[in-house]
Amino acid sequence: MKSKFALLLALSAVCRAEDVAPDLKGHVVNLWLENDLVVRTDGHYTHGTRVGYLGAERAWEAHDEAWFGRLAEWLPTPWMDPVAWRGGIAITQNIYTPRDIQYSTLLTEDRPYAGWMYLTPTLERRGFTPSGKTPTLDICSFNVGVVGPAALGQEAQNWIHDTRNLPEAQGWNNQLRNEVDLDVRYAKALRFDAPMTETFHGQFIPHAGLQAGTVQSFASVGAQWRVGWNLPGDFGWRSIDEIIPASGGRANAEHLKRGCYAFLGAEGRAFANNMLLDGNLYHDSHHVEKRRLVGDIRVGLVYVGKRWEFAYTHAIRSKEFRQQKDVDSFGSLSVAFKW
């Protein structure tokens, strides 16, 4: 306890008022549901579901209390003086189809049918830039899962369509074959404040990251601008496949705060490989010619309660392959419970 108290005193000398102490965040469970039916389409990235959990943060000085904490110390923390770390895990299923799902024959000019299911263990480290003034977040994670029939994309999509009395997709016999997903991810985000009144703030949150693996390898850069009342001390709400995941949680200083904010974000990716368009690595399969540069624009609204957060995001994605006629769009509903 004495050593923790000493750390808090030292940080208070260099941190701004909003980050006077680590304000360690508690546990949080997140749920995302994404679908393109909100824009009356049913193809390409057509549905995503994710359930994620982040454990409570621990002070950086407690890194030797668990093997995950020792891993947090062992991994480099470039351009950051860490003050807290925590681990988490998520499970995700994404579904991809051609634009027209009523044909059972192979549509050679459209993207392949594919289900993708994966587990994502995550290590978060939060701190400040060496100047001690700018909050920063490091994310180290990896995906382990499968692309193909074992990902249950056909079963999930047709179950959703049956429950909503919609026609079933007819071309799943053309989907990508089973192959293992192993992807390593690293990302960093910074947060810059622009206070307007005591409770009304703006924040600019740039980020960059890398992913390398069997399903997708890319470099990513982007930013989010958000404005609202009683902004939480996180790094912005996120969609399922953003390189920076949603962080969240609740610190002691935020127990009684309710707030809301709107945000505008953009992210660009430069792809080296994308199995979901390039086709299977080790099997013959349908494929299309991917575009190496892909960009997203996202706008959204978030309500922040004492224990609950609710968010809606609308995303517009540029064309992902050469034969694609129109840009894609989808909606994302998400909820978090924090304690």
- Residue 64, pLDDT score: 64
- Residue 38, pLDDT score: 65
Torsion of CA 318, 319, 320, 324, to 10 degrees: 160
- Residue 78, pLDDT score: 86
- Residue 214, pLDDT score: 97
- Residue 39, pLDDT score: 60
Q: What is the mean pLDDT of residues 287-306?
A: 96
- Residue 12, pLDDT score: 35
- Residues of the chain with pLDDT > 70: what percent? 88
Closest CA to 65 of 73, 54, 75: 73
Show the CA angle centred on residue 74, arms to residues 204 and 13, nearest 5°: 50
Distance CA 242, CA 228 (A): 22
pLDDT bin (cut points 50, 70, 90) of residue 197 is: confident
Please state the pTM of the whole predicted model: 0.88
User: Right CATH number for 2-338 from 2.40.128.140, 3.90.78.10, 3.40.50.261, 3.40.50.620?
Assistant: 2.40.128.140
Q: What is the mean pLDDT of residues 40-52?
A: 87
- Residue 198, pLDDT score: 81
- Residue 331, pLDDT score: 93
- Residue 65, pLDDT score: 65
Q: What is the pLDDT of residues 62-71, one digit of tens each?
A: 666 677 777 7
- Residue 186, pLDDT score: 96
- Residue 5, pLDDT score: 37
Q: What is the pLDDT of residues 84-135, one digit of tens each?
A: 999 999 999 999 999 999 999 999 999 999 999 999 999 999 999 998 789 9
**pLDDT exceeds 90 at position 264:** yes
Closest CA to 222 of 265, 175, 190: 265
- Of 78-82, 200-204, 319-323, the one with minimum mean pLDDT is 78-82
Distance CA 311, CA 90 (A): 18
With helix as H, strand as E and coil as C, how does the chain read?
A: CHHHHHHHHHHHCCCCHHHCCCCCCCCEEEEEEEECHHHCCCCEEEEEEEEEEECCCEEHHHHHHCHHHHHHHHCCCCCCEEEEEEEEEEEEEEEEECCCCCCCCCCCCCCCCEEEEEEEEEEEEEEECCCCCCEEEEEEEEEEEEECHHHCHHHHHHHHHHHCCCCCCCCHHHCCCCEEEEEEEEEEEECEEEECCCCEEEEEEEEEEEEEECCEEEEEEEEEEEEEECCCCCCCCCCCCCCCCCCCCCCHHHCCCCEEEEEEEEEEEEEEEEHHHHCCCCCCCCCCCECCEEEEEEEEEEEECCCEEEEEEEEEECCCECCCCCCEEEEEEEEEEEC
Segments making up each domain of the chain, as ranges: 2-338
**Average model confidence (pLDDT) across the chain:** 88
- Residue 255, pLDDT score: 60
Q: What is the pLDDT of residues 2-35, one digit of tens each?
A: 443 343 333 333 333 334 344 889 999 999 999 9
Residue type (1 letter), 163? T
Question: Which one has a higher pLDDT value, 206 or 258?
Answer: 206
Question: Which one has a higher pLDDT value, 339 or 176?
Answer: 176
CB 176 within 8 A of CB 275: yes
Q: What is the pLDDT of residues 138-160, one digit of tens each?
A: 999 999 999 999 999 999 999 98
Question: Which one has a higher pLDDT value, 22 or 242?
Answer: 242
- Residue 14, pLDDT score: 33
pLDDT bin (cut points 50, 70, 90) of residue 247 is: confident
- Residue 245, pLDDT score: 83
